Structure 1
Amino acid sequence: MTLVTDRAATGRTAPGKPPRLRGRRRSPVFDAPTPLGIAGRYGALVLMVLLTIGPLLWQLSTSLKSKSEDIYAETPQLLPQDPTFANYGEVTRVVPVLDFATNSLIVAAMSVLGNLIGATLAGFALARVDFRGRKLVVGLFMATLVLPGEATIISQFQTVNNLGLTDTLVGIVLPGLIGTVNVLLMYNAFRSLPRELDDAAVIDGATVWQRLRHIGLPAVKGTLSIVAILCFIGAWDDFLWPLLVVQDPEKLTLTVGLAYLKGQFSADPRLIAAGTVIALVPVLVLFATLQRYFFRGVEEGAVKG
């Protein structure tokens, strides 16, 4: 009797029996899927889809509606009665949307390349290279996240102006060439790697560049895809900074050009919708290309970070 009492108090089981796992007991009431719970889950999923995908579908529908359709009808219709692509041709004919898109692609490509190189080198140095003041540098990077972008936009404009880079695409890219968030993402990704890998590489005589190339980069492909997607979307959708830096109409990015389109065709939202759909296509293509690595990077951050 005493032995049974002691085993019950200590949580031990009799010899030959597997030990019990301590934790939350599974309840047949709360853990089992019920019709009401399944309906609630699917209802929440449908609501989230409507809130996120609904505006995009409405813009696509508006861009495909002909001039004869009333888009301000009391009963809105998602499917166009007479779908047409004439609105896209009208946009490209009147406003140089393709030129604006080309400028945006150049800016986004330079931003992605600069952040992939700069953030990777900075993150690896902060995570895997020992030097005096490393923690202070990480703290400074963290402190810069407190300041909003608008607080430093005047100093950034003065810097770009003094360098003579106004009215240039390089002037648009320069302030965001190496983002603080991207450096911290790469820092966290490299820090999650086992330290023993670096120690073994150092014993074998590997240099810092060899450790980065053969150990670090192959293990953080997911995080690199996250940085690439975030940089591309941020540079592609940026409006305020290109509006301040660029005054030449030939150097306008697509977001600023779409604002100009809205001013020219404020009475015809079909053309505005067509322009927004054109601006959305490169982002969808990039995400579809890198989605496998993107979700791998999210999983890596959730498990290792």
Structure 2
Amino acid sequence: MKPRALLLNLAVAVIALVVLFPLAWMVSVSFMSTGEAANFPPPLLPSTWTLEHYRELFVTQGMGRYLLNSVVLATLATILALLFTVPAGYAFAKLRFRGRERLFQLLVAALVVPAQIGTLPLFLMLKGMGLVNTYAGALVPWLASIFGLFLVRQYALSIPDEMLEAARVDGASEGQIFRRIVLPSLKPIVVTLALFVFLGSWNDFLWPLIILTDQSNYTLPVALAALSREHVQDIEMMMAGAVITVAPVLILFLALQRYYIRGMLAGSVKG
């Protein structure tokens, strides 16, 4: 191996180690006995491996309920986002209607506006509709993401117009064209968008904190923040809670990584 390539691989390995070390230490601390992580210098591995903190979280602190809340909300957010965003993105790419370009430009311009600005008006609207402290209220921001719309639209532009026109000439309806031609062509970007929405909904903290007032409806990030105020000194329990929060989405990302990369690369080349 050439010296330059060796140095490059070494640099990549060092960067990977720096990035992964906090995650690995978090997992290690979650199996330590209470107070062991507070020693100086902090130990890298537990002297005695224990599951006491995980038992405490699920048996006493009700972490199973919060985990179920996160799974349900993230799954519903992903399904609803795909139902609304994918057809809309295709329409902006391939269907002709008055004001299409101007409307799309207006939506893209809204991307520069911080999402937090719309939090208060959205909360007041949902309060008037009686959707505060409901799953429906927590799902509203995920129904139609402008970024997701842009992502699908850019990818859908790569679908040949000739293929769509041929299907119309053969008598296919727009619904049939969308189901049989467009959706299979959009599969990589649909998986990518689903992964984006699921991860974003799972990790979202601010909106569930605002809209969900009943503790039994908390998601994992909100529940973990509330738990940290009561057990701020229990580092091992907090790390166990962090592992429970991070592990599902990390496993999901690794399982769908090849589809995610394929969708992003294909979108960047074709879009």
TM-score normalised to structure 2 length: 0.95
- Residue in 2 aligned with 1:203? 169
2:56 aligned with 1:90: yes
- Residue in 2 aligned with 1:139? 105
Indicate the percent of aligned positions where both proteins have the same amino acid: 34
2:32 aligned with 1:51: no
Q: Is the 8 A contact 1:107 1:170 kept in 2?
A: no
Structure 2 CA distance, aligned partners of 1:97 and 1:236? 15
Paired residue secondary structure (2:213): coil
Q: Is the 8 A contact 2:35 2:235 kept in 1?
A: no
Structure 2 CA distance, aligned partners of 1:181 and 1:51? 31
Range moving further from structure 2, 120-129 or 91-100:
91-100
Structure 2 CA distance, aligned partners of 1:207 and 1:175? 31
Q: CA deviation at 1:116?
A: 0.8
Higher helix share: 2
Q: CA deviation at 1:122?
A: 0.4
2:244 aligned with 1:278: yes
- Residue in 1 aligned with 2:2? 34
Paired residue secondary structure (2:256): helix
2:151 aligned with 1:185: yes
Structure 2 CA distance, aligned partners of 1:79 and 1:159? 50
Pick closer, same or farther for the CA change 1:57–1:218 going to 2, 3 Å.
same
- Residue in 2 aligned with 1:112? 78
Structure 2 CA distance, aligned partners of 1:155 and 1:178? 17
2:224 aligned with 1:295: no
Q: CA deviation at 1:68?
A: 6.3
Q: CA deviation at 1:186?
A: 0.7
Q: CA deviation at 1:285?
A: 3.1
- Residue in 2 aligned with 1:7? none
Structure 1 CA distance, aligned partners of 2:18 and 2:188? 28
Deviation digits for residues 19-47 of structure 1, max 9, x if unmatched?
xxxxxxxxxxxxxx731x12321232123
- Residue in 2 aligned with 1:81? 47
Range moving further from structure 2, 138-147 or 73-82:
73-82
Q: Is the 8 A contact 1:87 1:271 kept in 2?
A: yes
Letter in 2 for 1:153: T
Paired residue secondary structure (1:107): helix
- Residue in 2 aligned with 1:166? 132
Q: Is the 8 A contact 2:66 2:217 kept in 1?
A: yes
2:229 aligned with 1:263: yes
Letter in 1 for 2:131: L
Partner of residue 38 from structure 2, selected from 65, 72, 79: 72
Q: Is the 8 A contact 2:34 2:234 kept in 1?
A: no
Q: CA deviation at 1:177?
A: 1.5
Bigger radius of gyration, 1 or 2? 1
Structure 1 CA distance, aligned partners of 2:66 and 2:210? 16
Range moving further from structure 2, 251-260 or 76-85:
76-85
Aligned length: 271
Range moving further from structure 2, 289-298 or 57-66:
289-298
Pick closer, same or farther for the CA change 1:207–1:48 going to 2, 3 Å.
farther
Q: CA deviation at 1:62?
A: 0.7
Q: CA deviation at 1:292?
A: 2.9
Paired residue secondary structure (1:275): helix
Structure 2 CA distance, aligned partners of 1:163 and 1:284? 36
Q: Is the 8 A contact 1:222 1:297 kept in 2?
A: yes
2:178 aligned with 1:212: yes
Q: CA deviation at 1:232?
A: 0.8
Structure 2 CA distance, aligned partners of 1:292 and 1:127? 25
Where does structure 1 lack aligned partners over 5 or more consecutive residues? 1-32
Structure 2 CA distance, aligned partners of 1:117 and 1:68? 48
TM-score normalised to structure 1 length: 0.85
Letter in 2 for 1:134: R
Please give the root-mean-square deviation of Cα atoms over the aligned residues, in Å. 1.5
Letter in 2 for 1:219: S
